């Protein structure tokens, strides 16, 4: 069944434009409530949000929709997406709901859901909800309506959970860390986590006004973090996105480390402690240098489709624990059920503190391969997967041998084809990508 509303990470769009309107969100919550009541007589859902001004409106709509279907609601207030996942599980709720558009600007918003176990929900569940949205509402009787209460200590509970993932025998004392929360959901949480573990914390991007989320700060604009680390002469910098499931990390030199490098660090730290790491999951975009470095340590890298949802599916299928994307979405399933920017940062700091090495020293085996990415906009009805393109791909792959690779994929949201070539030599990557792009343009 083709899904009309759900994308790869819930339902997202511009506020005031369908489906991100209060009337649809009320219908959505009512439909979700009816699906829940098929297996549970009196479900309870928890609802958290980021700091967008539209969160107030959408929270009210969700609350009404759930209550009208006979579902109780616990409001968590502003809380990172992974914090909602944690409290869903900790409070034995039936479902977790997050109001957030992650790294998007404030004019967008979205709704995403977590299972009672704090994990992403399967396609079949989303399809059941979409079917229920099309049905006429069945309002609960007055005696069966749901009730709503607010959990006042949601932030404190999540702070303690995040701290518990950092080794008890280690401390952050002596470290100065810049924390950038993107004026988002972790603005009142991330600085406290690092401070309570002993660090001196300088906060930026921690003054939300409803309109400034992700604006020139946070994981999608890491230059603000780089500048702050240098100006404050800090040891490290941590940048999160609007809902705090994504991480960018900076060292004292102002060098930015991407998710591929952080994934290697998490694997290396566990290997140094003598733990078995049979494999890790990256994506089609994971840098080849990381794959080669992991292989050299006896760790297999499996590539999933782009999207943390697909990384998680692959990890669960194989029974592995570690995975992630270059964008900074990272999974450590022995620490949390979903990607968590704060916990990922603590894993990096744990590796540094335990080893006594700098990040650059830990990553010495890795020199990232240059990646050249070209986006080609398609004309209406254009066929791009031509025999000429297949022939050029074979030619380029033969030239690259085992020191590079080609990835060509259509965008899931725009009429674009993305051509990526990775090679040890930047000029070779650029030349090969342009030749492939020219063939795509020619049709």
| Residue 413: predicted pLDDT | 67
**pLDDT tens per residue, range 40-87:** 999 999 999 999 999 999 999 999 999 999 999 999 999 999 999 999
Q: Order of strands across the sheet with 95-99?
A: 11-14, 108-114, 95-99, 44-49, 72-78, 148-150
> Domains plus CATH for the chain?
11-152 (3.40.120.10), 157-256 (3.40.120.10), 257-362 (3.40.120.10), 371-442 (3.30.310.50)
Write down the H helix ranges in 16-106: 22-36, 54-68, 81-90
Question: Facing residues of 75 across strands?
Answer: 47, 150
**pLDDT tens per residue, range 262-274:** 999 999 999 999 9
Say if pTM beats, i.e. exceeds, 0.85.
yes
Q: Dmax over Cα atoms in the chain, in whole Å? A: 72
Q: Which of 148, 189, 124, 160 is nearest to 341 (CA)?
A: 189
Q: 404 in helix, strand or coil? A: strand
Cβ-based neighbour number of residue 156 at 10 Å: 12
Annotation marks residue 430 as catalytic: no
CA pair distance 219, 155, nearest whole angstrom: 21
| Residue 246: predicted pLDDT | 95
**pLDDT tens per residue, range 181-205:** 999 999 999 999 999 999 999 999 9
Residue 308 binned pLDDT confidence (cut-offs 50, 70, 90): confident
The answer, yes or no, to whether residue 104 has pLDDT greater than 70, is: yes
- 54, 102, 115, 327: which one is catalytic? 102
Tokens representing 32 are 């979700």
**pLDDT tens per residue, range 419-432:** 999 999 999 999 99
Scanning the structure block, which residue is given the tokens 């209550």?
67
**Where are the strands (E) in 130-197, listed by range?**
148-150, 176-180
| Residue 244: predicted pLDDT | 98
Element (H, E) at 158: helix 154-164
**pLDDT tens per residue, range 327-342:** 999 999 999 999 999 9
Ramachandran category for residue 418: left, alpha or beta (phi over 0 → left; psi -120 to 50 → alpha): beta
- CA 216 vs. chain centroid, Å, equals 19
| Residue 380: predicted pLDDT | 87
| Residue 415: predicted pLDDT | 85
């Amino acid at each position: 069944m083709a899904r009309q509303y759900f994308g790869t990470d819930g339902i997202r769009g511009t506020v005031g434009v369908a489906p991100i309107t209060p009337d649809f969100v009320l219908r959505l919550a009512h439909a979700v409530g009816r699906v829940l009541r098929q297996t549970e007589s009196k479900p309870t859902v928890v609802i958290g949000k980021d700091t967008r001004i539209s969160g107030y409106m959408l929270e009210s709509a969700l609350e009404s929709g759930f209550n009208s279907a006979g579902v109780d609601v616990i409001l968590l207030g502003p809380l990172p997406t992974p914090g909602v996942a944690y409290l869903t599980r900790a409070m034995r709720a039936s479902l977790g709901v997050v109001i957030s558009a992650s790294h998007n600007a404030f004019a967008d918003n979205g709704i995403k859901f977590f299972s009672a176990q704090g994990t992403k929900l399967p396609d079949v569940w989303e399809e059941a909800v979409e079917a229920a949205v099309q049905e006429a509402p069945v309002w609960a009787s007055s005696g069966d309506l749901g009730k709503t209460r607010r959990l006042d200590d949601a932030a404190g509970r999540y702070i303690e959970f995040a701290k518990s993932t950092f080794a008890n025998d280690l401390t952050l004392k002596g470290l100065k860390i810049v924390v950038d929360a993107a004026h988002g959901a972790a603005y009142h949480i991330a600085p406290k986590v690092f401070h309570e573990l002993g660090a001196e914390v300088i906060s930026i991007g921690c003054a939300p006004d409803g309109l400034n989320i992700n604006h020139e700060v946070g994981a999608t604009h890491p230059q603000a973090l780089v500048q702050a680390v240098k100006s404050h002469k800090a040891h490290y910098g941590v940048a999160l996105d609007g809902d705090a499931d994504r991480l960018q990390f900076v060292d004292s030199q102002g060098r930015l480390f991407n998710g591929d490098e952080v994934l290697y660090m998490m694997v290396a730290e566990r290997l140094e402690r003598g733990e078995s790491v049979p494999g890790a999951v990256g994506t089609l975009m994971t840098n080849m240098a990381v794959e080669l470095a992991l292989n050299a340590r006896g760790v297999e890298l499996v590539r999933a489709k782009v999207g943390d949802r697909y990384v998680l599916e692959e990890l669960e299928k194989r029974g592995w624990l570690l995975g992630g994307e270059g964008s900074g979405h990272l999974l450590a399933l022995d620490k949390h059920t979903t990607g968590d920017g704060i916990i990922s940062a603590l894993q990096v700091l744990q590796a540094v503190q335990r080893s006594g090495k700098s990040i650059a020293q830990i990553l010495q085996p890795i020199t990232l391969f240059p990646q050249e990415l070209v986006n080609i906009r398609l004309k209406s009805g254009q066929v791009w997967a031509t025999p000429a393109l297949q022939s050029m791909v074979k030619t380029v792959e033969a030239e690259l041998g085992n020191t590079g690779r080609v990835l060509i994929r259509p965008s899931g949201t725009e009429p674009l084809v993305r051509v990526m070539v990775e090679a040890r030599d930047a000029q070779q990557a650029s030349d090969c990508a342009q030749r492939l792009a020219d063939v795509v343009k020619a049709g």
